[in-house]
Structure 1
Amino acid sequence: MEGPRLPPSATFHETDDDKPDDPLPTWHRPTSSLSALPSQDHPPHHWRNHSLNLSPILDTPSRSLPPPDSIPELETYVVQVPRDQIYWTPPPEHAKYVEKLRNNPEKNKKNGCSKRLMWFFIILIAFGFILGAITLILHLVFNPALPVFAVEKLNLKPSSFEVTLRAENPTSNMGVSYVMKPNGVVWLTYKNKRLGRGKFPKMFQAASGSDKVNVNLDGSTKNAVMPPRGSKQAVSLVLKMELKADYEAGPVKKNKEVVVTCDVKVKGLLDAKKVEIVSENCESEFKD
C-alpha cells in the first residue's frame, strides 16, 4: 500500500535538495541609470529543506523582487542648446553694488539729480544747435544787399536845393523801408563848407525795386566861396546821408544803418536854373 502523496511543491523542493550548493537564479538591470536594488541574501538552509516554509520569504515585501520584464528600459535623449544662447549668472559683485545702492538713498537721489541735469544740458545744447542752424540758413537765404543811389538832377533855388535821386533795392527776396535816424541829417557841402541840410523822406521799396526820390535841402551858396559867375570850371559837391534801412520778408526782419556818400561835379551852379551834372558817384555801406 502506497503512502500519502506529497504536494508538487514538496516534490520540487526535494529535487532542489539534491543540489544544495547551486546559487539562486539572478537577473541584470537593463541600464546603469537605475538605482541599486537591495541585495538578496540566500535563505537559510533549514528553509530550503521544507518547502512549506517559503511563505516568510514571499510575505516580506522588502525582499520580493519584481520580474525582469516589469522594469521598462530607460531611453537616452540628447538635448542640443543653440550656441548663440548664453546663460550666465551675474557675479556676486553686482549683488553687493545693488545692496549698496539700497543702503544709500541719498546717493541715489544725487545720482538722479545729476542725470536730470545732464539731460537738461544735452537738450539745451541740441536746441541751441538747431536754433543756430536755422539762423545760419536764414542769414544765407535772406541776406540784404547794399542799396544803390544815383544823383540825377540838382536844382538851385533862392534859399534851397532840390536833389533828385534814384534808389534801387538789389535784394531780390526782401523789401526795404528807408527812414531818417532820430538825429540824422542830409548834408550838401562844398570844400567842407555847408551849403544845405534837410531830411530824407520816408520811402518803401519792394524787392528788386527802383524808384525816384526828391530831397529838399534848406540853404544857399552865400556862405561859400564859389567860382565867379560865367566860369566854366566844374564844381565838386558832396552829398552825404545817414539812413535806417529796415529789411523785411514775412516774419524775417533785419535792421541796418546805411551811410551814403555821393561825389557830384556840376557846371553852371550860379548862372543857370538847371545845373548840368558832369559826373556823379555814390557809394553805400552798412554801418555796424
Structure 2
Amino acid sequence: MEGPRLPPSATFHESDDDKSDDPPSAWHRPTSSLSALPSQDPPPHHWRNHSLNLSPILATPPRSLPPPHSIPELETYVVQVPRDQVYWTPPPEHAKYVEERRNNPEKNKKNGCSKRLMWFFIILIFFGFIIGAITLILHFVFNPTLPVFAVERLTVKPNNIEITFRAENPTSNMGVSYMMEKTGMISLTYKNKSLGRGKFPKMSQAASGSDNVNVKLNGSTKNAVMPPRGSKQPVSLVLMMELKADYEAGPLIKNKEVVVTCDVKFKGLLDAKKVEIVSENCESEFKN
C-alpha cells in the first residue's frame, strides 16, 4: 500500500534540466514568492457611476513608509493681529525728543513762553504794519494845503487901523477853522516900529472856500516917523500873525499852526481916508 505522495520540494531538489515546462498549480505556490502586483488607482468617479466595472479591483495593502527622521521639537507662538490695525515703531530721534522733554520740564515751559512771545510780537508787527499803511494813505489823501491870505484894504483912523483880508482854503477835501491863541497877536509895523496890534476873529471855511475877514488893530500912525504929508513915496508896512488852523474831514482832524507874513506898500497913508495899495505879498507856512 502506497503512502501519500509528497511534493517534489519535500524529497529532492529538481535540477534545472528536469523542470517541466508546465507551470505548477497555484495551490502549492507560496504567496510570499509572488511579486507584488502593481497598484491600480481606483477608476474615476464618473467611470464608477456610469460604466460597468467588469474587472475586480485588487485590494492592495498601503505602502509602508520609512520611519521619519527624528525632528526636534520647536516652540511655536501664534499671534493674532486685527487686519484693520497697524503697528509701527517711531524712529529713535522721536523717543529721544520725548525723553528730553520729560526730563527737562523747565525747559519746556521756557520754550512755550518763548513761542507765545514770538507769536505776540508777530501779531503786534502785523497790526503795526496795517496801522502804518492806513496812516500813510490818510496822510497822502487828506493832506492840508497852506491857506492863502491877501490884504485888500487898509483904513487909518485916529485911534485904530482897520484891515480887510481875503482868506482862501485851497484844500479840496478838508474844511478848516481859524482861531488865535490867547497870547497871539496881529502886529503891523513900520521900520520895526509898531503901528497897531489886534486879534484875528474865529472863523470857519469849507473845503475850497474863500471869505473876507475884517481885523481891527488898536494904535495909530502918530507915534511913528512917517513921510511928510503930500509925499508920493510909497510906505512899506509889515503885517504878521500866527493862527491855529484845525483841518477836519469827518472824524479825521489835523491841527496846524500857520504863520502869515505880509509885505504891503501903501500910498497916501496920511492924506486920504482910503489908502491905495501899491503892492502886497503874503506868505504862509506851517509852523509844525
Size of the aligned set, in residue pairs, is 218
**2: CA distance, partners of 1:117 / 1:198:** 59
Amino acid at match of 2:231: S
The 4+ residue runs of structure 1 with deviation greater than 4 A are 14-17, 20-23
The runs of 5 or more residues in structure 1 that have no matched partner are 1-13, 26-39, 45-87
More helix by proportion, 1 or 2? Answer: 1
**2: CA distance, partners of 1:105 / 1:233:** 94
Amino acid at match of 1:107: K
Give the TM-score of the pair, scaled to structure 2. 0.71
1:222 aligns with 222
The runs of 5 or more residues in structure 2 that have no matched partner are 1-29, 42-62, 68-87
2:126 aligns with 126
Q: Give the deviation of 1:91 after TM superposition.
A: 2.3
Correspondences of 1:149-228 after superposition (within 5 Å): 149-228=149-228
1:244 aligns with 244
Q: Secondary structure at the match of 1:242?
A: strand
**2: CA distance, partners of 1:196 / 1:205:** 27
2:143 aligns with 143
1:19 aligns with 2:42: no
**2: CA distance, partners of 1:43 / 1:147:** 125
Residues 204-245 of structure 1: per-residue CA shift (max 9 Å, x gap): 000000000000000011111100001111000011010000
Q: Secondary structure at the match of 2:207?
A: coil
Deviates most, 221-230 or 140-149: 221-230
Q: Give the deviation of 1:110 after TM superposition.
A: 1.2
Q: Give the deviation of 1:190 after TM superposition.
A: 0.4
**1: CA distance, partners of 2:192 / 2:142:** 38
1:106 aligns with 106
1:42 aligns with 2:48: no
1:115 aligns with 115
Q: Give the deviation of 1:151 after TM superposition.
A: 0.4
**2: CA distance, partners of 1:15 / 1:186:** 158
Q: Secondary structure at the match of 1:233?
A: coil
Q: Give the deviation of 1:283 after TM superposition.
A: 0.3
Q: Cα distance 1:43–1:277, how it changes in 2: closer, same or farther (>3 A)?
A: closer
Q: Percent identity?
A: 79
Give the TM-score of the pair, scaled to structure 1. 0.71
Q: Give the deviation of 1:112 after TM superposition.
A: 0.8
Amino acid at match of 2:34: D
Q: Give the deviation of 1:192 after TM superposition.
A: 0.7
Residues 53-80 of structure 1: per-residue CA shift (max 9 Å, x gap): xxxxxxxxxxxxxxxxxxxxxxxxxxxx
**2: CA distance, partners of 1:166 / 1:262:** 12
Q: Cα distance 1:18–1:269, how it changes in 2: closer, same or farther (>3 A)?
A: same
Root-mean-square deviation (CA, aligned residues, Å) is: 2.4
Q: Secondary structure at the match of 1:272?
A: coil
**2: CA distance, partners of 1:266 / 1:115:** 74
**2: CA distance, partners of 1:256 / 1:43:** 119
Q: Secondary structure at the match of 1:227?
A: coil
Q: Cα distance 1:15–1:229, how it changes in 2: closer, same or farther (>3 A)?
A: farther
